[in-house]
Amino acid sequence: MKLNLEEVFVTEGVPAFTFVKPPNYNRILLDVRSPGKPVILEGQSGTGKTTCIKQILKDLADQFPTEYLAAREPVDVSRIEEIARDRPVGRFVIDDFHRLSSKLQESLADLAKISAESADPSTCTKLIVVGINNVGSNLIQLVPDIAKRVGIHTIAPGGEKEIRDLVERGAEKMNIVIADIHLIFEEVRGDYWLTQQFCQSVCLKAGVMATCDDKIDIGFDVPVVRSDVVEQLRAAHYPAVKEFCRGKRFRPSNQPYFKVLRAIAQNGFSNVDLTELANSDPEVRGSINNIKDWRLSILLESKPLAARSFYYNKETKNFSIDDPALFYFVRHLDWEALRRDCGFREVVENHEYDVALSFAGENRELAKHIANQLQDLDVPVFYDEAFEANFLGKAWTKKFKEIFADESRYVVVLLDKHHAEKIWPTFEREHFAPRVADEHIIPIYLDDTKFVGIPTDIIGVRFRFDQEDPEWRDKADREIVEKLIDKLT
């Protein structure tokens, strides 16, 4: 039978000829076939979770109605909410479960418990949950009672035997011999989808578009094929990568998203804990700490294209790239070319913060408002309360010295009599005062108090801070925040 290349090495849908069953395939099928029993399928991106569950449903070929829903699709999320609320009879596959809100996850966990305990499983809601690593244990933590009544299965990346099996099956259907399959395994790291894409590109490079009449041997050069795969993926993924790297409000010096995504790509894992990555990689620690608590979530909320490609859980600090094609693309990006295309400066001073706020406790409300507004506008800000968790166990004196003397691009200081009298503001002043000559200090004059080392002719902002004034926040936005943004950009 003569077959087209795309029918054999399949990059969309379930492969008809090159599907490789994971070792626990029959056990998963058994649980999927059991009425009412909740099933959880977890594993890292690219292990074939979705393909596996679709193949199982195809093999079952039963009459039980099945609905497939993906949490990355807004329309599907609305339907998932209906299921959690109305508990209809049927079998429902919920892919990308980890992308759902915590509240919706909990509702589905409660529904799974009810189904697992049902006296008549054939009349209940059968849930099949698909997600990244640990989605099963996380679900059980929501409803511990279902631990013994739910089927949790992990799909591991393919080993060399599985990848070789896939390639050889496809080669047989194409009537070709692909040499050096071990090189393919080393390149794809057990990723089934990527194996399909890589083999498709190998065939294209050799001019093989359909089953050959006579068997031929095909060789390949990994860097050449890799370049071809990356180029094929560019149109689909480059816009989202660039949008993510440029941040919510682009500035040539604002590179934390670029640095973090590059570190994740170089780290080699599509699902990472940003706190752990920050602790293990000092070069990107500052960038991660600047965005993980606040700004990263704001960016994804404001950029739909990036949000479809990247997932972030602010509570767990878990960042993931669910699409194996996208992860392969970022792993092999020309990051220097991307940096230039984004418009970032070639040489950027190594500052963790664009702004560090120095203030006395009496003016904390004003400082907090300025910090929040700047963060909403995607500015890296040091405001002490926001970073207490990051510096647990460390001495404030050492950290404040580093931040106000070296790690901030500008120090915005709220000057008044309280700043002159208090110990901590005075300590901060001692360390940022030498930077006055470099024009890195931006004073906000709240009264006429004079300060040693800060000349009165430094241009700043004069602001009357009166918490009894119901419009003080609007005035601060106009008179302080907007001017700071102009300065930064």
End position of a domain, from candidates 321, 342, 363: 342
**Which residue in this structure is represented by tokens 């006429």?**
448
The region of weakest confidence among 7-16, 283-292, 347-356 is 347-356
Higher local confidence (pLDDT), 357 or 285: 357
CATH number of the domain encompassing residue 400: 3.40.50.10140
- Quick check: 393 pLDDT over 90? no
In the chain, how many domains are there? 4
Residue 360 is predicted with a pLDDT of 92
My answer on whether 283 and 302 are in the same domain is yes
In whole angstroms, what is the distance from residue 456 CA to residue 131 CA?
A: 59
Establish if 248 belongs to a structural domain: no
In the chain, what percentage of residues exceed pLDDT 90?
Answer: 50
The answer to whether residue 242 sits within a structural domain is no
Same domain, 290 and 273: yes
At residue 137, the pLDDT reads 61
Average pLDDT for residues 307-328, to the nearest whole number? 89
395 has pLDDT over 60: no
In this predicted structure, the answer to whether residue 472 has a pLDDT above a threshold of 90 is yes
Q: What is the mean pLDDT of residues 348-377?
A: 86
User: For every residue of the chain, which 3-state class applies, written as one string?
Assistant: CCCEHHHHCCCCCCCCCCCCCCCCHHHHHHHHHCCCCCEEEECCCCCCHHHHHHHHHHHHCCCCCEEEEECCCHHHHHHHHHHHHHCCCEEEEEECHHHCCHHHHHHHHHHHHHHHCCCCHHHCEEEEEEECCCHHHHHHHHCHHHHHHCEEEECCCCCHHHHHHHHHHHHHHHCEEECCHHHHHHHHCCCHHHHHHHHHHHHHHCCCCECCCCCEEECCCHHHHHHHHHHHHHHHHHHHHHHHHHCCCCCCCCCHHHHHHHHHHHHCCCEEEHHHHHHHCHHHHHHHHHHCCCHHHHHHHHCHHHHHHCEEECCCCEEECCCHHHHHHHHCCCHHHHHHHHCCCCCCCCCCEEEEEECCHHHHHHHHHHHHHHHHCCCCEECHHHHCHHHCCCCHHHHHHHHHHHHEEEEEEEECHHHHHCHHHHHHHHHHHHHHHHCCEEEEECCCCCECCECCCCCCEECCCCCCCCCHHHHHHHHHHHHHHHHHC
Examine the pLDDT at 382 and tell me if it is beyond 80: yes
Residues 404 and 308 in one domain: no
Look at 217-231, 382-396, 456-470 and tell me which has the smallest mean pLDDT.
Answer: 382-396
Query: Is residue 237 situated within a structural domain?
Result: no
pLDDT at 241 over 70: yes
- Indicate whether 471 and 359 sit together in one domain: yes
Q: What is the pLDDT of residue 457?
A: 82
Is residue 121 situated within a structural domain? yes
Residues 392 and 481 in one domain: yes
Confidence of residue 10 (pLDDT cuts 50, 70, 90): very high
> Confidence band (pLDDT; 50, 70, 90) for 323?
confident
Q: How confident is the model at residue 394 (pLDDT cuts 50, 70, 90)?
A: low
Q: Are residues 120 and 150 in the same domain?
A: yes
Q: Is 128 inside any structural domain?
A: yes
Percent of the chain with pLDDT over 70: 93
**Judgement on whether residues 291 and 191 belong to the same structural domain of the protein:** no
**325 and 378 belong to one structural domain:** no
Give the whole-angstrom CA distance, residue 198 versus residue 204: 10
Q: Are 212 and 175 in contact (CB under 8 A)?
A: yes
Q: Are strands 318-320 and 311-313 parallel, antiparallel or unpaired?
A: antiparallel
Range of the domain at 280: 256-342
Contacts 24+ apart (CB under 8 A), 459-467: 460/415, 465/363, 465/366, 465/414, 467/365
Q: Which of 23-32, 41-50, 437-446 has the lowest mean pLDDT?
A: 41-50
pLDDT of residue 303: 92
Low-confidence winner among 224-238, 242-256, 331-345 (lowest mean pLDDT) = 242-256
- d(Cα 37, Cα 124) in Å, to the nearest integer? 10
482 lies in the same domain as 398: yes
Distance from C-alpha of 455 to C-alpha of 443, rounded to nearest angstrom: 10
Mean pLDDT on 187-197: 91
Report if residue 57 sits inside a domain: yes
Claim to verify: residue 202 and residue 171 sit in the same structural domain:
yes
If asked whether residues 146 and 43 sit together in one domain, one would say yes
Mean per-residue pLDDT over the chain, rounded? 88
Residue 236 lies in a domain: no
Q: What is the pLDDT of residue 246?
A: 93
Average pLDDT over residues 155-172: 93
Residues 6+ apart with CB under 8 A from 62: 33
- pLDDT tens, residue by residue, 61-102: 887 888 999 998 889 999 999 999 999 999 999 998 888 888
> Can you give the CATH number for the domain in which 41 is found?
3.40.50.300
pLDDT reading at 381 higher than 60? yes
Question: Is the full-model pTM beyond 0.85?
Answer: no
pLDDT above 60: residue 391: no
Quick one: 109 and 180 in the same domain? no
Where does the pLDDT of residue 205 fall: very low under 50, low under 70, confident under 90, or very high at 90 and above? very high
Asked if the structure places residue 348 within a domain, the reply is no
